[in-house]
C-alpha cells in the first residue's frame, strides 16, 4: 500500500467514524465536536485532491465559523435530555431500508462509471495561471462572475432573515413608542 | 500510485447516506440540521473528486457556491431553531406541531 492510499484510508475511516458518532451520540455538544473532526478529515482529503484553497476554506468556514455557530446555539439551549430517537412506528426500519437501498444504488452507479485511473497532477489551467488559487480566482471572476455576485445577495438575505427571526417581539409600551 | 477516483466517490456516497440516516432517525433539530450539513459536505467531496478526475476547476467553483448557500442556510436555520426554542422551550421537532391539521 502506497503512502497516498494509506493517507486516504486513514482519513476515510476517520470521516465515516466521526459521522456515525455524530448521529449516534445523545449529546448535541459531542455531535458538534465529532462534526468538526469530520470536516477536518474531509479538508485533508481536499488537499490530496489538489484543492488546497478549498481545504483552507473548509477549515475556516465550516470547521471554524459554522460549527462555532452550532456550538453557540447548543450552549444557548442548555444540556439536552435523554436520547431523542424517532418514535413513529416503522420509521426506523424503513429509514435503514432506504439507506441501504440508496447506498447500493450509488455504489452500483459508481462501479458502472468505469473511471480511468488518475494520472499525474491537475495541469492545464493551473500551469497557465501560475498557481492553484490564481487559477481558481480567474475561473471564479471571469466565467462565474454573475453567480459570484448572486451569492452576495444570498448572504444578504441570510443576514436580514437571521436578524428578523432572532429579534425579540416589540414591546407594546406607549411611553417609549 | 494515486487513489482511484471511485474510492472518493464511494466515501462521498457513504457520508451522504449517514447524513440521510441522521435526518430520518433523530428528533433533535440541531442534530438533524448538522446531518444536512454532512450531506452537503459529502456532495462537496464528490465535486472536488470529479474536478480532479476531469482536470477542470468548474467543480471546485461549485463547491464555493455550495458553501455560501450552506452558510446562509445555517444562519437562517439556527435563527429559526432559536425562535422555536424560545416559544416552545424544546428543540424536539415532534413538539413543533402547531400547524398540524
User: Is residue B69 within 8 angstroms of chain A, CB to CB?
Assistant: yes
Closest CA to A19 of B70, B31, B65: B31
Asked if B27 lies within 8 A of A85 by C-beta distance, the reply is: yes
User: Is a pLDDT exceeding 60 seen at residue B1?
Assistant: yes
Asked if A86 lies within 8 A of B24 by C-beta distance, the reply is: yes
pTM above 0.90, yes or no: no
| Mean pLDDT in residue range A58-76 | 89
Task: Give the pLDDT band (50/70/90) at residue A172.
Answer: low
| Mean pLDDT in residue range A93-97 | 89
User: Is a pLDDT exceeding 90 seen at residue A19?
Assistant: yes
Mean residue pLDDT of chain A comes to 84
Task: Give the pLDDT band (50/70/90) at residue A34.
Answer: very high
User: Is a pLDDT exceeding 80 seen at residue A52?
Assistant: yes
| Mean pLDDT in residue range A137-162 | 90
Q: Nearest CA to CA, how far is A69 from chain B (Å)?
A: 8
| Mean pLDDT in residue range A124-133 | 68
Residue in chain B lying closest to A168 (CA): B83
Residues of chain A contacting residue B85, judged by C-beta atoms under 8 Å apart: 76-77
Mean residue pLDDT of chain B comes to 88
pLDDT tens digits, one per residue of B79-100:
888 888 888 877 777 777 777 7
| Mean pLDDT in residue range A149-166 | 90
Residues of chain B contacting residue A117, judged by C-beta atoms under 8 Å apart: 2, 4
Distance CA A125, CA B99 (A): 53
Place of cell 432573515: A161
- Strand positions, DSSP E, chain A: none
Closest CA to A132 of A49, A65, A75: A49
Q: Nearest CA to CA, how far is B20 from chain A (Å)?
A: 7
**pLDDT of A10:** 94
- List Cβ<8 Å contacts ≥24 apart for A69-74: A69/B74, A69/B75, A69/B78, A70/A32, A70/A35, A70/B30, A70/B33, A70/B34, A70/B74, A70/B78, A71/A29, A71/A32, A73/B30, A73/B78, A73/B81, A73/B82, A74/A28, A74/A29, A74/A32, A74/B30
Sign of CA dihedral A31, B46, B18, B27: positive
**pLDDT of A76:** 84
Closest CA to B31 of A70, A90, A91: A70
Closest CA to A74 of A38, A40, A42, A35: A35
Amino acid at each position: 500500500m502506497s503512502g497516498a492510499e494509506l493517507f486516504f484510508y486513514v482519513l476515510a475511516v476517520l470521516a465515516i467514524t466521526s459521522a456515525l458518532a455524530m448521529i449516534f451520540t445523545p449529546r448535541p455538544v459531542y455531535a458538534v465536536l465529532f462534526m468538526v473532526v469530520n470536516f477536518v478529515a474531509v479538508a485533508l482529503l481536499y488537499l490530496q485532491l489538489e484543492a488546497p484553497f478549498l481545504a483552507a476554506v473548509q477549515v475556516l468556514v465550516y470547521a471554524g465559523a459554522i460549527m462555532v455557530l452550532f456550538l453557540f446555539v447548543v450552549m444557548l439551549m442548555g444540556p439536552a435530555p435523554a436520547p431523542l430517537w424517532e418514535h413513529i412506528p416503522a420509521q426506523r426500519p424503513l429509514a435503514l431500508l432506504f439507506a441501504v437501498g440508496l447506498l447500493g444504488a450509488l455504489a452500483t452507479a459508481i462501479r458502472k462509471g468505469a473511471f480511468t485511473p488518475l494520472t499525474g497532477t491537475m495541469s492545464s489551467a493551473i500551469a497557465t495561471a501560475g498557481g492553484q488559487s490564481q487559477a481558481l480566482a480567474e475561473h471564479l471572476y471571469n466565467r462565474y462572475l454573475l453567480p459570484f455576485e448572486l451569492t452576495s445577495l444570498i448572504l444578504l438575505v441570510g443576514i436580514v432573515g437571521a436578524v428578523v427571526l432572532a429579534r425579540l417581539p416589540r414591546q407594546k409600551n406607549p411611553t417609549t413608542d | 500510485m494515486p487513489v482511484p477516483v471511485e474510492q472518493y466517490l464511494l466515501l462521498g456516497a457513504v457520508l451522504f447516506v449517514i447524513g440521510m440516516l441522521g435526518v430520518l432517525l433523530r428528533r433533535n433539530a440541531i442534530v438533524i440540521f448538522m446531518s444536512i450539513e454532512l450531506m452537503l459536505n459529502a456532495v462537496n467531496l464528490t465535486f472536488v473528486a470529479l474536478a480532479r478526475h476531469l482536470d477542470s476547476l468548474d467543480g471546485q467553483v461549485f463547491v464555493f457556491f455550495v458553501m455560501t448557500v450552506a452558510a446562509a442556510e445555517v444562519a437562517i436555520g439556527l435563527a429559526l431553531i432559536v425562535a422555536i426554542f424560545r416559544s416552545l422551550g424544546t428543540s424536539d421537532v415532534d413538539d413543533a406541531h402547531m400547524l398540524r391539521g
